[in-house]
Amino acid sequence: MFMMSLLVVELGPLVRGQPQVPCYFIFGDSIFDNGNNNGLLTMAKVNFPPYGIDFPDGPTGRFTNGRNMADIIAEKLGFKNYIPPFATASPQEVLTGVNYGSGGAGIRNETGKHLGGRISLNEQLLHHQVIISRIALLLGSKDLAREHLSKCIYTIGMGNNDYINNYLMPQFYPTSHLYTPQQYAAVLIHQYFKQIKTLYNQGARKVALFGIGLIGCIPAEVTMYGTNGSACVDWINNYVQLFNDKLVSLVDELNNDLTDAKFIYINSTGISSGDPSAIGLTVANAPCCDVSTNYGKGQCIPQRVPCSDRSTYVFWDAFHPTEIVNVVSATRAYSALSPTDAYPFDIRGLAQLSL
């Protein structure tokens, strides 16, 4: 009898089709953006074909052919709908979460500035404050909002542009003259720490931090810097590693200091290393779509027909992975395939945690 009731309790949420957590909030860059840049004056927007060619709603502002990682994580968590972008979320739908992601955005305010408008992490946190007020109104009190917010999953994927659209563009940004790679990683982590602390003060208790990816391998960087015979621009990947190593230490520090919350690190570089052809991805050195060489450099040329065998390409455009790669990465972030995919555990573990 006891066993049976336990079973019912455990199956309950699945039977009723409830998500594992009541809400999912997303902070990030173009890897996560699902439409927040559409209304901005910026080169970093993609609400035109062939973007979205494999997405049910077509081009929505997602920087890929189909679903992005936020979409897949939302599916894994059991949400029936994708988490709406801050730009267009209706007041009623914010209870289940909001996506604040913005292409070109970074930890640093100025990151991506040469592209035009973008919503920096600092501004994304201000947007979150607006949503928190709305949630307090919907639930009837600040305490109930706080209770609700403590149960949500939060993912943050930031830092890629602080390299791609800042440190690695000395013609537009002074950071590479001001800081050595080691110093820059430290400066970024220091600012990121303060931003994560703000999110904690806003009530977040289950937070997954995505490490920066192997940006030395993206076609845009390979084209710009050359690889000297290697498959990737190795020195760029070494810079990123400095940041990621510090991020892992930050996760330890946060978990030691903020004991009523849990922070995890998603090992993006680890997940994407290894031979892509082992999972049918036979083209790793060229984008699937024809990319622009002037306005919106590295993004797909509007209206051009992309490659047809999209499940064999690692890269959709010169910066962003294809949907199939997003599926693999998000699935491993949610449910680790290798013990090193997530530290100290994966998003599924974070969702199941009772704090």
Ligand X SMILES: *[C@@H]1O[C@H](CO)[C@@H](O)[C@H](O)[C@H]1NC(C)=O
Residues near ligand X (CB under 6 A): 109, 122-123, 126, 228-229, 248, 267, 270, 273, 340, 343
Q: Smallest gap, in angstroms, from Cβ of residue 227 to ligand X? A: 9
Q: Which is nearer to ligand X, 109 or 202 (CB)?
A: 109
Work out how close the CB of 235 gets to ligand X at its nearest, in angstroms, rounded to a whole number.
Answer: 7
Report the distance separating Cα 336 and Cα 271, nearest Å.
9
**Active-site hit among 29, 33, 71, 317:** 317
Give the shortest CB-77-to-ligand X separation in angstroms.
23
Least distance between ligand X and beta carbon 120 (Å): 6
- Could you confirm whether 320 is annotated as catalytic? yes
Instruction: Select 69 or 247, whichever has its Cβ closest to ligand X.
Output: 247
Residue 286 beta carbon to ligand X: minimum distance, rounded to whole angstroms: 22
Nearer to ligand X, 12 or 274 (CB): 274
Q: Of 29, 30, 102, 329, which one is the catalytic site residue?
A: 30
Contact assessment for residue 64 and residue 314, using Cβ atoms and an 8 Å cutoff: no
| Closest residue to ligand X in the complex (CB) | 270
Cβ closest to ligand X, residue 100 vs residue 343: 343
Classify each residue of 201-228 as buried b or exposed e, where b means 16 or more C-beta atoms within 10 Å of its C-beta.
ebbbbbbbbbbbbbbbbbbbbbebeebe
Q: How far is the CB of 343 from ligand X (least distance, A)?
A: 5
Which are the contacts of 64, defined by CB distance < 8 A and separation ≥ 6? 51, 316, 320, 321, 322, 323, 326
> Between residues 56 and 229, which has the closer beta carbon with respect to ligand X?
229
CA distances from 165 to 17, 104, 148, 170, 326 (A): 41, 7, 36, 10, 21
Given the residues 102, 128, 320, 329, select the one marked as catalytic.
Answer: 320
30 flagged as catalytic:
yes
Nearest to ligand X of 65, 267 (CB atom): 267
Asked if 122 and 195 count as a contact pair (C-beta separation under 8 A), the reply is yes
Active site positions, annotated: 30, 317, 320
